[in-house]
Amino acid sequence: MIDIKFLRENPDVVRQNIRNKFQDAKLPLVDEAIELDAAFRAAIKEADELRASRNKISKQIGALMAQGKKDEAEEAKKQVAQGAARLAELEGIEKELEEKLNKVMMTIPQIIDPSVTIGRDDSENVEIEKYGEPIVPDFEIPYHTEIMEKLNGIDLDGARKVAGNGFYYLMGDIARLHSAVISYARDFMIDRGFTYCIPPYMIRSNVVTGVMSFAEMDAMMYKIEGEDLYLIGTSEHSMIGKFIDTITPEDKLPCTLTSYSPCFRKEKGAHGIEERGVYRIHQFEKQEMIVVCKPEDSGYWYDQLWKNTVDLFRSLDIPVRTLECCSGDLADLKVKSLDVEAWSPRQKKYFEVGSCSNLGDAQARRLKIRVKGENGNYLAHTLNNTVVAPPRMLIAFLENNLNADGSVNIPVALRPYMGGKEKIGG
């Protein structure tokens, strides 16, 4: 969410930013915000003037009573009563205007970084760099669920009976591989200086609206009926929420945390063949990383975060590439974002396995995440990135480590988490 003062002083900049994100339908929101802001400030000014007048008249009443001027004192009391009624009315108007203004401001997209490429959608994202040599073996690679089924590692039919589509049972060595990847990712991030955390898996509505846009909330979040609680779609939500309404001294920053959690997502809409199996599901587990830092440091941490993901995938012999997200592919709270994509030998192309985002002060403004500096308090910057999400990561892992006989190699880095096994199956 941008600063209302910035919008008030730079409406054309905000409008151009909306155009750059190809969201022209939101252009009227700029004028609406300006009008609501003016009315809100006018109501505050009138209320302040009434309070000052009330205080002045109240002092006069005491003096009039002391002088025996009861009639004048009673007239002054009537003025105070009239002012009190109007003040109560104004307080209601203030609250209503503030709520409307906040809703509009939370719908206007964050100002994107100047380095972001202007593009309409993800088809215009820009490849930055490839890491590792993408290889297509001389044998056919089955669909990922077929690989898992041959290893007795997945039961989709059983899960469908229990919970419906979009769920799965992982079994045997595949389930162990899933847990091994999570444990390895945890230790990988701890070794890089991040503090390990297991967060709440449910969050309140004020945290939800603090960390994501209304559109994302509707598309992703599961609401707990009868409670002001939502199941998290990623641990970033509760990890950033941890800092709600806090003031952190500058010398305590950055806060670098890595968190494990299950994730729950609606994943609305129908999907193609390449998104069946365990690619796009309602429940999965993930290792995440988040940073809360000073504004001048967020560029540095943005680069560190996505590099962590690249390094982890390369340590497991999986080729990856990085893509800069264009303006039209950025969620409304994001200043800049980069996707990490893993190589799929079966599809002969890359697919997304993680996303790194710099949200500037958008989440911090909504959640009041502040920094205590020498010259006063100011808003922090927040960033997040996927370390690894095993369902998609398992697809890349299995395809890139599959042998012609159906066995799967275990990279050296992962063997301690797999009981020393060098391969599964075969």
The answer to whether 173 and 153 are in contact (CB under 8 A) is yes
| Lowest-confidence segment of 7-21, 159-173, 207-221 by average pLDDT | 207-221
Amino acid 107: pLDDT: 94
DSSP at 412: G
- At 394, list the tokens: 């398992």
Q: What percent of the chain has pLDDT over 70?
A: 93
Q: Look at residue 356 and tell me if it is in a domain.
A: yes
Mean pLDDT, rounded, for 336-344:
97
Q: What percent of the chain has pLDDT over 90?
A: 80
Asked whether residue 71 falls in the same domain as residue 189, the answer is no
Amino acid 61: pLDDT: 66
Asked whether residue 90 falls in the same domain as residue 160, the answer is no
The answer to whether 26 and 103 are in contact (CB under 8 A) is no
Amino acid 135: pLDDT: 92
Q: Look at residue 117 and tell me if it is in a domain.
A: no
Q: Look at residue 116 and tell me if it is in a domain.
A: no
Last residue of a domain, one of 105, 132, 147: 105
Asked whether residue 243 falls in the same domain as residue 367, the answer is yes
Q: Taking phi first (over 0 means left), then psi (-120 to 50 degrees means alpha), and beta for anything else, what does residue 120 get?
A: alpha
Mean pLDDT, rounded, for 371-393:
94
Q: Look at residue 364 and tell me if it is in a domain.
A: yes
Q: Look at residue 114 and tell me if it is in a domain.
A: no
Mean pLDDT, rounded, for 168-196:
97
Please tell me which residue, 34 or 88, carries the higher pLDDT value: 34
Q: Look at residue 302 and tell me if it is in a domain.
A: yes
Q: Look at residue 110 and tell me if it is in a domain.
A: no
Last residue of a domain, one of 50, 77, 105: 105
Q: How do residues 92-120 score in pLDDT, each as one tens digit? A: 999 999 999 999 999 999 999 999 999 99
Token pair 């104004």 is found at 90
Q: Look at residue 184 and tell me if it is in a domain.
A: yes
Mean pLDDT, rounded, for 21-34:
97
Query: pLDDT confidence of 1, banded at 50, 70, 90?
Result: confident
What's the CATH code of the domain at 328? 3.30.930.10
Asked whether residue 87 falls in the same domain as residue 33, the answer is yes
Q: From CA 2, how far away is CA 359, in angstroms rounded?
A: 11
Closest CA to 394 of 264, 277, 283: 277
Give the burial class of 418: count Cβ atoms within 10 A of its Cβ; 0-12 exposed, 13-18 middle, 19 or more buried.
buried
Q: How do residues 74-95 score in pLDDT, each as one tens digit? A: 676 777 677 678 888 888 999 9
Q: How do residues 264-279 score in pLDDT, each as one tens digit? A: 998 755 444 444 667 7
Asked whether residue 81 falls in the same domain as residue 180, the answer is no
Closest CA to 382 of 367, 394, 392: 367
Assess whether pLDDT exceeds 80 at residue 302.
yes
Asked whether residue 31 falls in the same domain as residue 136, the answer is no
- 189-to-106, 185, 309, 384, 420 alpha-carbon distances in Å: 33, 6, 10, 13, 21
> 63 is in which domain, residue-wise?
4-105
Asked whether residue 64 falls in the same domain as residue 172, the answer is no
Q: Where are the alpha helices (DSSP H) in 192-297?
A: 205-211, 214-220, 235-241
* Per-chain mean pLDDT for the chain: 92
Q: From CA 296, how far away is CA 110, in angstroms rounded?
A: 17
Last residue of a domain, one of 105, 135, 150: 105
Query: Residue 375, Cα to own-chain centre: how many angstroms?
Result: 29
Amino acid 86: pLDDT: 81
Q: How many domains does the chain fold into?
A: 2
% helix, strand, coil for the chain, step of 5: 50, 20, 30
| Lowest-confidence segment of 171-180, 212-221, 256-265, 389-398 by average pLDDT | 212-221
Please tell me which residue, 225 or 68, carries the higher pLDDT value: 225
